Amino acid sequence: MIKKIFFIVAVTVSIYANATVVNTKDSLYSHAQRIFTVSGFEELEPTYVNGAIHSGSWKDNWFVNVSGGVSSFIGSPIGCNDLFGRMKPVMQVSVGKWFTPSVGSRMVFQGFSFKDSENASHTYRNYHTDLMWNLTSALFRDDNSLRWSIIPYAGLGLLHNDFNDKNPFAFSYGIAGQYRISDRLRLTMELGGTTTFKDFDGRGDSREFGDNLFNLSAGLSFSFGKPGWKKIVDAEPYINQNHRMADYIAVLESRERALKKKYETSVEVAAELRKILAIEGLLDKYKSKIPDANFDGDMAGYSDVPHNDYSGLNSLRRRLGMNRQTNNPEGKHTDNKQGTDFSKRSSNKHRSHNSNTNKALADNECIGFPIHFFFVIGTSNFTDQSQLVNLDEIARVAKKHDLCIRIIGSADSSTGEANKNKELSASRADYVHSLLVQRGLSANRMEVVAQGGIDKYSPIPANRQVAVELFYRLD
């Protein structure tokens, strides 16, 4: 038997080793490693879609322009003076927004005074809305280092002459240059013109275009809102990487299933081996060589659970062999058909003390440790049907050595009402009692106790149990 146990120990340790150590020669693992090594899952450097940008919020990329310079009126009839002879100061204020790095619009107020064909000075006001095209950004869209911008524009508006109260429709056009000092400040220079009907100055045909205002100005442009643009990241490299990751995950999942199966097998083998060692009285000697499986899934990771490593049966066998001598050495069952009450049994009729009195066991002292049986919450059903094996061994040992049994049913006090827990604990104890009766034990030699809800053990599920205690005699 010892040789068999050593063999099982060796097999169990081997199974656990295979279940916890990755075999680097395994084809699945090697394939996964190749995927990881060759393709790589490191962080990618972003690449961008050529010419694509994020439009951003409507609050972003606004600007205010303030500038001043000179203007000159050239009309039809042209009158007596040249372009330079008709120069007058001009002021210009505009508010606008860039919708893209190359397209924007603005609203402009422009005015001061002008000289007509007869060199008479008049005040005027010019209101127009322009569409702007940043030629530099369009041509060099991926170059963020450029500071100069060339911006043609064209628009529509109205001119007002305070002298004759004329408000003709007008076209505006021109070209602006900008130099970026910072993200929010630019130096600007602009050459522009406005063309309207010939009667703007009071002379000429109102049905024909011919009067023009030309201006040259310089100033500053201030940006507000969030400046700049976000490029659109090219998603294709990330999509390809996700596909590789999906393949890699599939390989790992396959590997996990294989390891899980090995582990489950090893746990089952280890549990059965511990039972065998406990029954044979060798658990204490060899338990350090057997990987310890958790109590169950609900109690995994907890140590403060009822002591139930089958040492009750183990201790029972040791003590019976060492400290007591039964009057039934052949192991025959001595329960009579009338079911003699265990409380009336005489200790002198059934056993004698060994000379080693310091090891003697009192009649009403539990032999070894209680054997615990655990139940599903709210029911009288075992959490694991493999617990029936322990009942078989209890029945065999109790019959062989003419023992008494106390069956203590419990429920967890944190669940349900007290009356319900009392009934549930009694139901569980009665269930174990019936199973032992089925295995040939007399009901008169068993005591059933229902102690209701308890909170003795942690975690909570450990309190949903029946404890079986074995005695030489119960008083």
Assign residue 428 the CATH number of its domain. 3.30.1330.60
* Helices 311-323 and 388-401: angle between axes, nearest 10 degrees: 10
CB 429 within 8 A of CB 409: yes
Residue 300 domain-assigned (yes or no)? no
Element (H, E) at 93: strand 87-98
Digit-coded pLDDT (tens) for 14-44: 544 554 444 434 344 444 444 444 445 677 7
Residues listed for the chain: 475
Are residues 145 and 212 located together in one domain of the fold? yes
Q: Which residue did the predictor score with more confidence, 328 or 262?
A: 262
Give me the mean pLDDT over the 328-346 stretch: 36
Closest CA to 452 of 475, 420, 405, 415: 420
Q: Give yes or no for residue 192 having a pLDDT over 90.
A: yes
Task: Report how far apart, in Å, the C-alpha atoms of 463 and of each of 306, 309, 381, 425, 458 are.
Answer: 9, 17, 14, 10, 8
Least confident segment among 33-37, 146-150, 375-379 = 33-37
Cβ within 8 Å of residue 61, ≥6 positions away: 97, 98, 99, 104, 223, 225, 226, 227, 228, 229
Tell me what pLDDT residue 105 has.
Answer: 95
Residue 298 domain-assigned (yes or no)? no
pLDDT bucket at 281, cuts 50 / 70 / 90:
low
Are residues 206 and 241 located together in one domain of the fold? no
d(CA 102, CA 262): 64
Are residues 260 and 215 located together in one domain of the fold? no
Residue 431 domain-assigned (yes or no)? yes
Least confident segment among 173-187, 321-335, 437-451, 461-475 = 321-335
Closest CA to 201 of 81, 76, 111, 80: 76
CB 454 within 8 A of CB 466: no
Closest CA to 246 of 32, 100, 432: 32
Q: Which residue did the predictor score with more confidence, 375 or 10?
A: 375
Are residues 132 and 209 located together in one domain of the fold? yes
Q: Which domain holds residue 81?
A: 52-231
pTM reported for the whole predicted model: 0.42
Residue 69 domain-assigned (yes or no)? yes
| Residue after which a domain boundary falls, among 216, 231, 246 | 231
At 236 the three-state DSSP class reads: helix
Element (H, E) at 283: helix 283-286
Residue 127 domain-assigned (yes or no)? yes
Q: Which residue did the predictor score with more confidence, 9 or 202?
A: 202
Tell me what pLDDT residue 112 has.
Answer: 85
Least confident segment among 89-98, 234-243, 254-263, 382-391 = 234-243
Q: How many domains does the chain have?
A: 3
Q: Which residue did the predictor score with more confidence, 338 or 411?
A: 411
Are residues 205 and 105 located together in one domain of the fold? yes
Assign residue 179 the CATH number of its domain. 2.40.160.20
CB 194 within 8 A of CB 210: no
Are residues 25 and 95 located together in one domain of the fold? no
Are residues 267 and 330 located together in one domain of the fold? no
Residue 136 domain-assigned (yes or no)? yes
Are residues 260 and 396 located together in one domain of the fold? no
Tell me what pLDDT residue 353 has.
Answer: 34
Digit-coded pLDDT (tens) for 349-372: 333 333 333 334 556 778 877 899
| Residue after which a domain boundary falls, among 247, 262, 289 | 289
Are residues 212 and 92 located together in one domain of the fold? yes
User: Phi and psi (nearest 5°) for 219?
Assistant: -175, -155
Closest CA to 411 of 458, 373, 455, 370: 455
CB 146 within 8 A of CB 177: no
Tell me what pLDDT residue 289 has.
Answer: 66
Are residues 137 and 223 located together in one domain of the fold? yes
pLDDT bucket at 142, cuts 50 / 70 / 90:
low
Residue 368 domain-assigned (yes or no)? yes
Tell me what pLDDT residue 350 has.
Answer: 34
Q: Would you call 366 exposed, middle or buried from its count of C-beta atoms within 10 A (0-12, 13-18, 19+)?
A: middle
| Residue after which a domain boundary falls, among 205, 231, 257 | 231
pLDDT bucket at 279, cuts 50 / 70 / 90:
low
Are residues 125 and 85 located together in one domain of the fold? yes
d(CA 332, CA 353): 20
In Å, the largest CA–CA distance within the chain is 151
User: Phi and psi (nearest 5°) for 377?
Assistant: -55, 130
pLDDT bucket at 292, cuts 50 / 70 / 90:
low
Q: Give yes or no for residue 308 having a pLDDT over 60.
A: no
Residue 324 domain-assigned (yes or no)? yes
Are residues 455 and 354 located together in one domain of the fold? yes
